[in-house]
Amino acid sequence: MTLEIVQTGHPVLRKVARQISVDEIRSASTQRLIVEMRDTMRAAPGVGLAAPQIGESIQLAVIEDRSEYIKDIASEQLAVRQRSPIDCHVIINPKLTLVGESSVDFFEGCLSVEGYAAIVRRSAGVRVECLNERAEQTTITAQGWYARILQHEIDHLNGTLYIDRMQTRSFTNAENVDRFWRSRTIEEVQKHLGIHTDTIR
């Protein structure tokens, strides 16, 4: 079963989601929700889906970057993005810590801002302390694209969308990302668009 993904403008996307208890995590309803969120994420398709995106204001997200999503991306681009397949997993009540001072700019999209993308600066490395789908404490250390996905999904749980962090001059529909920018480096895109990266926090 797939669920409706709410779009920007829906109030639930701007609320800080509530944490959920161990008993709630282990309940049949939450376990069913996790399966439905996974199926919805795959059907979209996307690499992450947070509960607020399907109208549930709870601190839960599913993440998966399937090998089929990246099979047509050049190996050089995968290396630059530090992107590789990620098995499906769940993060609940996450606490995010940015690791190091290095940051990276790349285009991001969102299933709740359908059809659009923009360049967003994210920390290159993160540590996430959270519970998994069995309510077990776990710590995730991530770099590159995986770190970006985690930051994006945890933003959702705190009422933040990528459009709040985007380099506004880069905002574009998805068709034009492919048409104009796919073969260029992010630095070339920023230069062409007149984005002064030294002024971006």
CATH number at residue 69: 3.90.45.10
Structural domain count, the chain:
1
pLDDT digits (tens, 9 = 90+) for 158-200: 999 999 999 999 999 999 999 999 889 999 999 999 998 775 5
pLDDT digits (tens, 9 = 90+) for 15-62: 999 999 999 999 999 999 999 999 999 999 999 999 999 999 999 999
CB 34 within 8 A of CB 61: no
The two three-digit tokens of residue 100, written as one number: 């190091």
| Active-site annotation, residues | 153
Confidence (pLDDT) at 18: 98
Mean pLDDT along residues 152-162 = 98
Domain presence at residue 75: yes
Top pLDDT among 82 and 6 is at: 6
Domain presence at residue 100: yes
The two three-digit tokens of residue 102, written as one number: 């290095």
Confidence (pLDDT) at 200: 57
CA atoms within 13 A on the CB side of 126: 23
Instruction: Find the domain containing 192 and state its range.
Output: 11-199
Domain presence at residue 5: no
Confidence (pLDDT) at 34: 98
Confidence (pLDDT) at 171: 98
Confidence (pLDDT) at 92: 98
Using alpha carbons, list the distances in angstroms from residue 34 to 20, 56, 92, 134, 140. 13, 11, 11, 11, 19
Domain presence at residue 132: yes
Confidence (pLDDT) at 145: 97
Top pLDDT among 4 and 82 is at: 4
Domain presence at residue 115: yes
The pTM assigned to this predicted structure is: 0.95
Domain presence at residue 131: yes
Phi-psi region of 101 (alpha: psi -120 to 50; beta: other; left: phi over 0): alpha
CA-wise closest residue to 119 among 130, 109, 131, 106:
106
Confidence (pLDDT) at 120: 98
Count of other CB atoms within 10 angstroms of residue 173: 11
Domain presence at residue 70: yes
Domain presence at residue 6: no
